[in-house]
Amino acid sequence: MSGAGEGQEFADRVALVTGGGSGLGQAACRLLAERGARVVVADVNDDGGAATVAQCKEAGSEAQFVHADVTKEEDVIAAVAAAVDTWGRLDAAINNAGTTGPSARTADYTLEQWNGVIALNLTGVFLCLKHEIPQMIKQGGGAIVNTSSGAGLMGFAGLPGYVASKHGVVGITRAAALEYVKAGVRINAVCPGSTRTPMLEGFMGGDPVIEKAMEQSAPIGRLARPEEIAEAMVWLLSDAASFMVGHALAVDGGAVVM
């Protein structure tokens, strides 16, 4: 791809998206591709990853899938290497892989449950930052968005691992942003509200009472569409957000301000 035209602000840029096989990650991959980026889709869901790659190609861009479990450092290294080996650089990353984890009160949580949620939601983000940042510094800069949650800005009963991990994502975003901004790497977080993704559908379990409660948890009175969150993610990666550093952007229909 050559110079950027209208709507092609990511032309000649390479992006990595973890959790890119469904939900927010898939929507972000598709949007990045529409705007000219070459995309590395990383996920443990091979079928979902392949579907995302197909969507990116339909949008007119190049894409490849890498099977990657972000709790495993060697998988994260391989995902970053896939971008560099194929296209020579890594300009943008969305560290999005995550899970809600089981629903239980804190004293009823098992250590195994706790460790599983923290490993994926928080340690996974740490490992991605650890290996994305040096590559971006080496080539002169880049931009990273970490997926936190509205639960990274406020408390929710019954999801202690999720809430703790998502607060942690905001914390590591702020620390890393201060550490690397002068090296040309901008790091921010997005904090989505309840969004109609496969992960949330699984959490609701088809229960209309739970779905109604989720819809009413924000003043806007509905669930977000994945594309609405993806727009915020991609904007934070873009040059239009060049003065955004270490910010945790709530995209939640007003839930945080209730």
Is residue 162 part of the annotated active site? The answer reads yes
Select which of 10, 65, 162, 203 is catalytic: 162
- CB-based burial of residue 188 (10 Å sphere; 0-12 exposed, 13-18 middle, 19+ buried)? buried
Sign of the CA dihedral with 242 first, then 243, 248, and 254 last: negative
- What span, in angstroms and rounded, lies between the C-alpha atoms of 142 and 15? 10
CA angle 124, 127, 129 (to 5 degrees): 110
What spatial distance separates the first Cα and last Cα of the chain, rounded to whole Å?
45
- What span, in angstroms and rounded, lies between the C-alpha atoms of 176 and 247? 11
Identity of the amino acid at 93: A
Q: Which helix (H) or strand (E) holds 126?
A: helix 124-139
- For helices 124-139 and 73-87, the axis angle rounded to 10 degrees is 30
- What span, in angstroms and rounded, lies between the C-alpha atoms of 59 and 32? 9
Radius of gyration of the chain (CA): 17
- What span, in angstroms and rounded, lies between the C-alpha atoms of 232 and 213? 24
Q: Which helix (H) or strand (E) holds 185?
A: strand 185-192
Q: Which residues are catalytic?
A: 162
